[in-house]
């Protein structure tokens, strides 16, 4: 059953594969490992629609792993601004330099796992898609597809062993990269979390979730945990049409990124007047960032960024939103 499902899925992929700038067409020789690696890193926690233009701009600027390895950290971090999860950018730089020093990407899942920032999923994806290794590529889309196919009604976190065993049994020997991408496409475009398009699915005839009449019930949702809430202060220091920016410490949240200066985030809002506030959600907590006027320049390194070119500063989305809030306040005054 699993082998026949893989055959039908590949036939469907040949006819309906998404055209993406990092992909080789179905049945074609594998794509450039650099482009596969870069796309997989960018796609972590980020939608395809967001990644496509950013990927194209990135490879236009650094078309090879050697070009990226030779780039300055600040340039790469600035280019990454807005994609979020900035530890990925720091790992990207470290990985590029290590791969360039090695003379190219290793070709096996086990060797790829040793590179900075490459976890089980990313290493398997590169091994299968770029090098044709029979690796089990399992992301959240694939987990959902397999849980529905097998009728697993427990939360994914409680079922990963069974899901992995099913995927490993399905992966064909001759087109593992196309199979991996076909599973991703199926989960992203047909076997969606809500309102799955079951009638368009090539696997519906043997799908337990479809047979149940309620495919959205599979897998069971995980219990949601309340996220703690924090408050942060961003000092707004403005002179002659420019604002004072700093670079955050290399380690930690938003590490190495351009930012408005301010103390560490805590549990209490500021006691004094606030110019504007921005609500933001991180993976593990929510934040209210409060902008507070400050006359003197904070100690430490930084630079004056003209507000007319603030879009070129490489601010992450949180601080870009804070600047927008200040602009809105200015316009409303």
- Measured CA to CA, the distance from residue 117 to residue 78 in angstroms comes to 19
DSSP assignments along 172-205, one per residue: -SS-HHHHHHHHHHIIIIIS-SSS--GGG-TTGG
Task: List, edge to edge, every strand of the sheet that includes 229-236.
Answer: 229-236, 286-293, 276-281
How many secondary structure helices (H) and strands (E) does the chain include?
Answer: 13, 7
Which helix (H) or strand (E) covers residue 246, if one does?
strand 242-247
Structure tokens of 282?
């991180």
Structure tokens of 185?
């496409």
What is the set of active-site residues? 40
- Measured CA to CA, the distance from residue 180 to residue 330 in angstroms comes to 50
Of 142, 124, 138, whose CA–CA distance to 185 is shortest? 142
Structure tokens of 320?
């870009």
Structure tokens of 189?
């475009």
Q: Please answer whether residues 272 and 295 qualify as being in contact, where contact means their C-beta atoms are separated by less than 8 angstroms.
A: no
- Measured CA to CA, the distance from residue 39 to residue 204 in angstroms comes to 29
Q: Compute and round to an integer the Cα radius of gyration of the chain.
A: 23
DSSP 3-state of 256: coil
DSSP 3-state of 287: strand
């Amino acid at each position: 059953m699993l082998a026949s499902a893989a055959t039908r899925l590949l036939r469907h992929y040949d006819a309906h594969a998404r055209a993406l700038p990092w992909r080789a067409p179905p049945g074609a020789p594998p794509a450039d490992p650099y482009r596969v690696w870069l796309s997989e890193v960018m796609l972590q926690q980020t939608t395809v629609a967001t990644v496509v233009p950013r990927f194209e701009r990135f490879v236009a600027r650094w078309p090879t792993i050697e070009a990226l390895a030779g780039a300055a950290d600040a340039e790469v971090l600035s280019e990454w601004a807005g994609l979020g999860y900035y530890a990925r950018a720091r790992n990207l730089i470290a990985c590029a330099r290590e791969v360039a020093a090695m003379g190219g990407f290793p070709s096996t899942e086990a060797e790829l796992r040793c590179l900075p920032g490459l976890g089980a999923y990313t290493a398997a994806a590169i091994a299968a898609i770029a090098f044709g290794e029979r690796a089990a590529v399992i992301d959240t889309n694939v987990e959902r597809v397999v849980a529905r196919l097998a009728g697993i009604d427990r939360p994914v976190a409680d079922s990963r062993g069974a899901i992995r065993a099913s995927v490993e049994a399905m992966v064909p020997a001759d087109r593992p990269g196309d199979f991996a991408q076909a599973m991703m496409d199926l989960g992203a475009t047909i076997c969606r979390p809500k309102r799955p398009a079951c009638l368009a699915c090539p696997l519906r005839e043997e799908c337990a979730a479809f047979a149940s009449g309620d495919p959205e019930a599979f897998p069971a949702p995980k219990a949601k945990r309340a996220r703690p809430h924090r408050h942060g202060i961003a000092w707004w220091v403005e002179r002659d049409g420019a604002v004072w920016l700093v670079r955050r410490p290399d380690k930690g949240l938003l590490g190495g990124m351009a930012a408005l200066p301010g103390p560490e985030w805590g549990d209490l809002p500021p006691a004094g007047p606030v110019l504007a506030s921005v609500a933001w959600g991180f993976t593990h907590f929510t934040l209210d960032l409060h902008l507070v006027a400050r006359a003197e320049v904070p100690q430490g390194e930084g630079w004056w960024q003209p507000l007319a070119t603030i879009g070129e500063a490489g601010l992450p989305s949180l601080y870009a939103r804070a600047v927008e809030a200040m602009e809105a306040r200015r316009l409303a005054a």
